[in-house]
Amino acid sequence: MKKFLPLLSVALLASAVASAQELRYGITGALNFSHYDFSAGGLSLDTDSRLGFKAGFRMEMDAPFIYDGFYFDMEALLSSKGAKYDTAIEGGTASYTARPYYLEVPIHIGYKYMFGSSEWGVFASFGPYLGVGLFGSDKLSVNSSVEPVDIADIDTSPDSFSSETLKRFDFGLGLRAGVQMFDHYRIYVGYDWGLINIAKMSQSKIHNRNFYVGAAYMF
């Protein structure tokens, strides 16, 4: 009985804290400007940004037990990432485009500051994300005067996550900052740093990098 009462007290306290917090749900979407941090054989290669998107559901919970203004948020997103790489070849150019799609789950801790009694404020958050590759394709476009045809499009891989391209799992850290308006609206910018080498090719390293601009609506 003496051991049971402390456990019961902790359980009741945790339940009271959880029920006292405001849990809100919403929808969110953003425009991605993604690229790869890519190296092969010890040499780094510059890749161009590829335009993509992310969209899904969002959850927020106030955390005044840390300090007034702190909160946690979590999202479940469909995110289109990838990169473009252009190189010169004999008689023309070649362009390689990667188009992988992920299920991403970022979990952030943040702080928001509201301006007095107004409904305007600013916020910033930081935390990890987990990505799971769902589908996607890579394409190589060749434009060369020495080819039998001037432009040849070749699907180098019908699946971005095949045995010779990208690993299916990604993990990294994200940073976000933005403006809150009228309690329901969020406008933000953010950046994600992939920490895992997602390349399956030997002696190659690929890390996801993504800058995004987005908005959210909280119910």
User: What are the boundaries of each domain within the chain?
Assistant: 22-82+100-132+162-218
Nearest to 177 by CA among 113, 125, 106, 213: 125
Is 50 exceeded by the pLDDT of residue 13? no
Span 92-102, pLDDT tens digits: 777 888 999 99
Residue type, 195: L
Please report which helix (H) or strand (E) contains residue 19, including its range: helix 4-20
8 Å CB contact between 187 and 30: no
Fold of 22-82+100-132+162-218: Porin (2.40.160)
- Give 184's pLDDT tier (boundaries 50, 70, 90): very high
- Give 152's pLDDT tier (boundaries 50, 70, 90): very low
- What is the pLDDT at residue 52? 97
What angle is formed at CA 188 by the lines to CA 175 and CA 111, rounded to 5 degrees? Answer: 60
Is 80 exceeded by the pLDDT of residue 111? yes
Nearest to 145 by CA among 109, 179, 94, 106: 94
- Can you read off the two tokens belonging to residue 176? 């976000």
Is 70 exceeded by the pLDDT of residue 89? no
Find the mean pLDDT for residues 117-136. Answer: 95
Among 5-19, 41-55, 86-100, which is the least confidently predicted range? Answer: 5-19
Does the pTM surpass 0.85? The reply is no
Tell me the average pLDDT of the chain: 85
